[in-house]
Amino acid sequence: MSRSGKLTAAEAKLKKEDYHRKRRDKLKNSPKNLEKLREKERLKYLKKKEKGQVKSVSAMNSREKKQKRKQWRLNSSKYRERNPNVRNNLARLMNETPPASPVSLVESGSRVNAVKNDTAALRRRQQLRNRRAILYRRIAKLEQKLKEESKKSEKYRKKYTRLNDKIKFSSPEKKVKTLIKNTKLPDPIKKKLIFSEIITKQLAQSYAKLKTQKDKQAYYKISI
């Protein structure tokens, strides 16, 4: 009986892993693409860590650390199984390499120093990118907080303007009632406040009708 063309879950998983492995191997041949891949994976890891999906070793308990070490050993074992010729090729290369002359030793030392310098530079760039990503997240949070505070400020400003307009254009009785809200005062004092508001409103209306600055100054002196 012929086999169906549909893959099982295990086969689909293996096919997906093989695809990603070949893709990574292809990217590793280009330093530029490799750098982009590492940056993408690093950002993905930081997002997971920020959401709490990934724990740092310092945040793990003893049991979690033990499981993590076991997983590391397993991954290392799988890597060695997938690359059985790495150690043999290195040993054969060491055996076939002739004794180094003083000149070659100097050249080797220069290459080693160059590699160390490149590694240190790469490490500094990675640290800089990490700090930049942290700063970007902090800036985004501060901008969001500023936006929320601005909305609150605008809300209270409009509320104050409406209340102020309501008091400004209300009758003297309503204005006095609003001003002394939750305050008990004798009726004679309330009447005096209302009378004062009436006089103040009339003076303001009369002053607003004056046209020239000279008339306004003269009116101000009389009012005082």
Q: Is residue 194 part of a domain?
A: yes
This prediction has a pTM of: 0.26
- Rounded Cα distance between 81 and 83, Å, is 5
- For the chain, how many structural domains are there in total? 2
- Name the residue range of residue 131's domain: 115-169
Q: Is residue 43 part of a domain?
A: no
Q: Is residue 216 part of a domain?
A: yes
Quickly state the pLDDT bin for 97 (edges 50, 70, 90).
low
Report the C-alpha dihedral over residues 47, 53, 55, 60, rounded to 10 degrees: 170
- Rounded Cα distance between 46 and 54, Å, is 9
Same domain, 203 and 218: yes
> Which of 3-12, 15-24, 187-196 holds the top average pLDDT?
187-196
Same domain, 128 and 164: yes
**pLDDT (tens digit, 9 = 90+) per residue, 192-209?**
888 888 888 777 777 788
Closest Cα to residue 34, out of 116, 122, 120?
122
Same domain, 156 and 186: no
pLDDT above 50 for 105:
no
- Rounded Cα distance between 5 and 2, Å, is 9
pLDDT of res. 108? 54
- Rounded Cα distance between 124 and 130, Å, is 10
Same domain, 127 and 164: yes
Could you tell me the CA-to-CA distances from 45 to 6, 52, 141, 160 in Å, in that order? 33, 11, 20, 48
Share of the chain above pLDDT 70, in %: 73
Task: Of 32-46, 54-68, 78-92, 102-116, give the lowest mean pLDDT range.
Answer: 102-116
Same domain, 215 and 203: yes
Q: Is residue 64 part of a domain?
A: no
Domain boundary among 169, 184, 215: 169
Report the C-alpha dihedral over residues 71, 76, 77, 82, rounded to 10 degrees: 130
Same domain, 119 and 164: yes
Tell me what the pLDDT averaged over the chain comes to.
75
Quickly state the pLDDT bin for 220 (edges 50, 70, 90).
low
Is 99 in a helix, a strand, or coil? coil
